[in-house]
Amino acid sequence: MSTAAIHAGWSAQDRHRAVTPPVYASSAYAHPDHASLKALFQRRQEGFAYSRSGNPTTVVLEERITALEGGIDAIAVASGQAATSIALCALAAPGGHVVASSLLYGGTTEFLDDTLADFGVNTTVVDPWDLDAWERAITPATRAVIVESIANPGAQLVDLDAISEIAHARDVPVVVDSTLASPALYRPGDHGADLVVHSATKYLCGHGTTIGGLIVDTGSFDARRCPERWERLTTLNRRFGVTFADEYERGGSGLLAYARAKYVTDFGATLPAASAQQILVGIETLDLRMGKISADAALLAARLHEAAGVARVDHPTIPGRPDAALAERDFPRGTSGVLALELAGGEEAAAAFCDALELWTLAVNIGDARSLVCHPGSTTHSHLTPAQREACGVSPGTVRLSVGLEDLEDLWSDLERGLTAAARTTAEVPALVG
């Protein structure tokens, strides 16, 4: 893992033998003659024409994440949101059906509920721990199931092997948002996932500098198994003049070739080359970072669980969590740096807690080197209905923590400051005498 994180996709092979993958800041690429550019557009030749659909720096990132996830191909896109939306459009639009875990990032739930619904795609939401519910929800129209390997913000884990078995028995591909885990902690492809999506903005980049997203094909989905169902891949595409499923014969991904040609190009959700390089640099230290972050998050979760004024802590190591056995079985290196706590005093206590912190930064991001805090109910999950918020474990008193790389004791003493401020909001006001 740590070797591939540094070397996969690049070996100082450019003209100047640059050690670090350079930023190819070029919109277009010159060709020696008419025949060369024509062959590229006819998909008879590999190469670059225009950076909206391919860039040499971005390709290094695509090769690196493919190696880290043990996949066959990847596409880098403009954001994690673009990764999820393009993956689901490629599988399910128009008119398909998706089965989604109730424990998803708020932006994904909103996309499913609103924008993907505009494409005629309906979604059935299920409790990811209820395997019978997955079984019941899949219909002949289902084109994808989607889960998070570690959910945001409660760090809930899923039995992906079991969910994949249910989906694959009905020939339905499994999409896993593995943003929180990153390949350093968990490889969804080893547990049945067909597509892995990442918000590279988070742990892969690791320093809060860049927005980016990735879609990885793990190699288990082959549209040719159900040619009628995936006829957009298995029949000749008039616009592009190719049958995308032919990619499988070359060891590539028919699905990602289709997603890149159609959705990345049409939606224009391209990852800038400079962003690809930032993410590549971040990935070099991913393995080191994820171990410390996961260990520190577990220690802070245990202390918060004992703290006064905290009604609940959401983290797989907390006694009574139904996913404790999954943590032991599938996450030997830990479960990443995100945890949620519910303050007994509700939103007022949560606001006082956030405002009192000096070291933790109040910001709606995770996976930064800096520790971050936010109130999901009024930010990342604020556009959901109260029922949707409840289904993903977000209440008015919920605070999300994203543990960074600072000293653990510094982080803890700041959290104690926050807890003291939260306690003041619920302390009984002394009765006035006289």
Ligand X SMILES: Cc1ncc(COP(=O)(O)O)c(C=O)c1O
Residue with smaller CB distance to ligand X, 213 or 397: 213
Cβ–Cβ < 8 Å for 300, 235? no
The interface with ligand X within residues 51-90 (CB under 6 A) comprises 79-81
Among 58, 156, 199, 234, binds ligand X (CB under 6 A): 199
Cβ–Cβ < 8 Å for 142, 98? yes
Residue with smaller CB distance to ligand X, 290 or 423: 290
Smallest distance, ligand X to C-beta of residue 367, A? 8
Beta bridge pairs of residue 215: 75, 197
Cβ–Cβ < 8 Å for 109, 120? no
Among 138, 211, 264, 374, binds ligand X (CB under 6 A): 211
Stretch that binds ligand X, among 42-50, 111-119, 174-182, 183-191 (CB under 6 A): 174-182
Smallest distance, ligand X to C-beta of residue 76, A? 12
User: Which structure tokens are listed for 102?
Assistant: 């109730």
Question: Of the candidates 426, 414, 429, which has an alpha carbon nearest to the alpha carbon of residue 356?
Answer: 414
Q: What are phi and psi of 131, to 5 degrees?
A: -65, -35
Query: d(Cα 94, Cα 96) in Å, to the nearest integer?
Result: 6
Among 102, 142, 152, 253, binds ligand X (CB under 6 A): 152
Among 213, 377, 393, 396, binds ligand X (CB under 6 A): 213
Cβ–Cβ < 8 Å for 98, 116? yes
Smallest distance, ligand X to C-beta of residue 151, A? 8
Smallest distance, ligand X to C-beta of residue 188, A? 13
Does 398 help bind ligand X (rule: CB under 6 A)? Answer: no
What is the C-alpha R_g of the chain? 23
Q: What are phi and psi of 89, to 5 degrees?
A: -65, -45
Query: d(Cα 151, Cα 160) in Å, to the nearest integer?
Result: 12
Residue with smaller CB distance to ligand X, 69 or 247: 69
Does 275 help bind ligand X (rule: CB under 6 A)? Answer: no
Residue with smaller CB distance to ligand X, 126 or 181: 181
Query: d(Cα 24, Cα 55) in Å, to the nearest integer?
Result: 7
CA 416 remoteness from chain centre? 30
Residue with smaller CB distance to ligand X, 12 or 362: 362
Does 201 help bind ligand X (rule: CB under 6 A)? Answer: yes
Binding region for ligand X (CB under 6 A): 79-81, 105, 107, 148, 152, 177, 179-180, 199, 201, 211, 213, 366
